[in-house]
Structure 1
Amino acid sequence: MKTLHGKLKNENIEGILLVLRGGATPAHFLAEALGIKNIYAVNILSYDGKKKICKPKITNLPKIPESIVKVAIIDEIVDSGETMSSLMTLLCKKYPDKIFKSVTIFQRDNAKFYADIYAQSSDEWIEFFWERDLKDII
């Protein structure tokens, strides 16, 4: 999170759009660190467990107020790139006057889409602490 905070702190981000569910945890940390109060969420289904579905399904796209111009789109990983690419395309069509910055913790080297800002690249399967710690509970 420190790496992403360092890369975002001078970007003048006014709002955060988090991709549920994976983007919720990093978005919370970054919103706190950056002092951002304008937080929105969108649902995108790309995986069924570890199995990738054909095309990302985007639902519950929020209305972003006109007063907010620069928005960080946060997800935990850009894997194939289809999720973030689909969302960025949709957002740019719906909000042509806004500036969107894609942000992720992990970026796959072979993804079709590269996030504007990422902390680390990796081609290994990533198990996030919030997923690992919940295995015994769920």
Structure 2
Amino acid sequence: MKRVRYDYETFVKDLKQLADSIPDSFNAIVAIARGGMTMAHLLGEYWNIRNVFVINSIGYEETRKLEKTKVFNIPDLLPCDDILIVDDIADSGETIKAVLDTLKARYPDKRFKTATLFFKPNKSIVRPDYWLKEVDDEWIDFFWSDDLKALT
């Protein structure tokens, strides 16, 4: 598997390109923690959306894949109608699917769309509504996972 370093400067340029390619407007953003948190923060600032929330999911414990993805920390989306769910990558798609299923069950009258920077079309069970780059066998080393650790 090829490893690709994804730095902050590339992220900002890519996120701007992704944001500008999304034709819909939203009144809330839900970040899938942890990969979607930086995206949600910057998109909230860019689009002037104050309803920025975080939802958590766990699909692995260490390197062991869980039978079912756990979804928790479900935000109160009652005052919102059009919600964008963001994550860094749709790899297997299981996390996005679990989050979407959970939110749609809790809020059946809301409109949900998904956006990722990266999408693995040959692997993901979910096709995001919006994505910027398709990857195949790459492992993305995101700056938010590595940069602070590199300083120690």
TM-score if structure 2 supplies the norm length?
A: 0.82
Equivalent residue, structure 1, for 2:16: 2
SS at match of 1:125: strand
Q: What amino acid is the match of 1:127?
A: D
Q: Measure, in 1, the Cα distance between the counterparts of 2:115 and 2:62.
A: 23
Matched, 1:90 2:102: yes
* 1:63-102 equivalences in 2 (<5 Å): 63-66=76-79, 68-102=80-114
RCO greater where, 1 or 2, for CA within 8 Å and sep 6 or more? Answer: 2
Structure 2: unaligned runs, 5 residues or longer: 1-14
Tell me which stretches of 4 or more aligned residues in structure 1 moved more than 6 Å: none
For residues 97-131 of structure 1, the C-alpha deviation after alignment (integer angstroms, 9 at most, x for no partner) is 11001111111122111111111111210111111
Shift of 1:132: 2.2
Equivalent residue, structure 2, for 1:62: 75
The alignment covers a number of residue pairs equal to: 136
SS at match of 2:75: coil
Q: Measure, in 1, the Cα distance between the counterparts of 2:62 and 2:128.
A: 23
Considering only CA atoms, is the larger Rg found in Structure 1 or Structure 2? 2
Greater helix proportion: 2
CA-atom RMSD in angstroms: 1.7
Q: Measure, in 1, the Cα distance between the counterparts of 2:65 and 2:36.
A: 17
